[in-house]
Amino acid sequence: MKNVLNKKVLFIICGGISAYKSLETIRLFKKNGAVIKTILTTSAKEFVTPLSVASLSQGKVYSELFNVENETEMDHIALSRWADIILIAPATANTISKLSQGTTDDLASTVVLASDKNIYLAPAMNVRMWEHQSTKQNLERLKNFGYKIIGPEIGEMACGEYGEGKMSDPKTIFTEIDNYFLKQKKNKKFKALVTAGPTNEYIDPVRFITNKSSGKQGYEIAKSLSKKGFDTTLISGPTNISIEKDIKLIKVETADQMLVATQKNLPTDVAVFSAAVADFKIYKKFENKIKKKDFLKLDLEKNIDILSYVSNHNSMRPRLVIGFAAETNEIELNSKEKLNNKNCDWIIANDVSNKKIGFDSDYNEVTIHYKNQDMKKENLTYRKKSEISDEIVDRIIDQLN
């Protein structure tokens, strides 16, 4: 039970009678070596005091969104980046509603919305509030955003009623988070390789053939893999996206450069080829800039197929090879053909003719086609690319384990 040792836990306490349980929860984390900072909402201070929280956590307690001392020492963005994980306990009906709508009217909600870390909620409320349709809808929305829910439990409440809505026992909450870090530790034995973005195939020193890929989905997959413990390498074509320092980033331009970088970073346990590699390159690149002409003929040749190369590499093939199929028509047919022809394990297909998803969008909708599972397929419905990535990585972990 020491998986939380030296892990940075940002603890958010909301205003509910169950707030007293948060003190015991903090004590358990501290006893097992976690580093804790705490945010108290305004209403939480009606149930527990900043002094009692600070005494147990031995860490700073935050409360106000606009506080000169806090904003100069560690603003709300930095606080969200500091944490390894965020735990909201108790998570009241009001807080759940705010988070589901993206409302940011206090420090707690602002930090959560700005966070790129896993967020756990331990709901606590009256049984009627828990069973209300709006609460159920709000929680379903948060689950789709990637939030993890702990509890609640069934029992007698402070109001005298009986039913579901009691905040989970502190030991249950602690065990859930400790197991999260245990899984992270187990996943550290896995190496992952991700390719992302377009490639540029030069015609002359200033012109090139490329495509509309933004690299967003591939970057999000690399982030999800790293967040869940994988030793992650990202090989990226030209993009304007930043990435966490924990991820080894290799920048390339051409398909040939991407292939060389891929070869140098094999073997690996899983390889996700989300890059939109140009199918063709110039047979012979012009040494000097081409002057404007009435007519120009370009001789093209096929680029090497990196996905197929890796899938069919007997000695260096990863345990799990995943390709992407960005299609505009006959998506299922083309995806299944690619799955078979490339000899990969999964193909993840999406419709790039739909302007709401795919290239340059923050949202996506994909279908995973699985080989050797009776050609099973699974749809991941419309949501943020970061959420799609978390779903994909969860399935990767299940497959590797």
Answer for the pair 362, 383: CB distance below 8 angstroms, yes or no. no
* Cα–Cα distances in angstroms (integers) from residue 376 to residues 38, 320, 336, 346, 379, in the given order: 45, 16, 10, 10, 10
Helix (H, G, I), strand (E, B) or coil at 351: strand
Look up residue 21 and give its amino acid. Answer: K
Residue pointed to by tokens 């600070």: 54
The amino acid at 359: F
Would residue 159 show up in a list of annotated catalytic residues for this protein? yes
DSSP string for residues in 22-83? HHHHHHHHHHTT-EEEEEE-TGGGGTS-HHHHHHHH-S-EE--SS-HHHHHHS-HHHHHHH-
> β-strand 320-327 against 270-273: which pairing, if any?
parallel
The C-alpha atoms of residue 259 and residue 309 are separated, in whole angstroms, by 9
C-alpha–C-alpha distance, residues 204 and 292, integer Å = 13
Locate 265 and state its tokens: 């970073």
Rounded CA Rg of the chain: 25
Give which of 172, 99, 87 is closest to 142, Cα–Cα: 99
Active-site residue among 159, 290, 296, 316?
159
Q: Which two tokens stand for residue 246?
A: 């924990």
Q: State residue 179 phi and psi, 5-degree precision.
A: -65, -35
Between CA 89 and CA 112 the distance in angstroms is 13
Which residues are known catalytic residues?
159
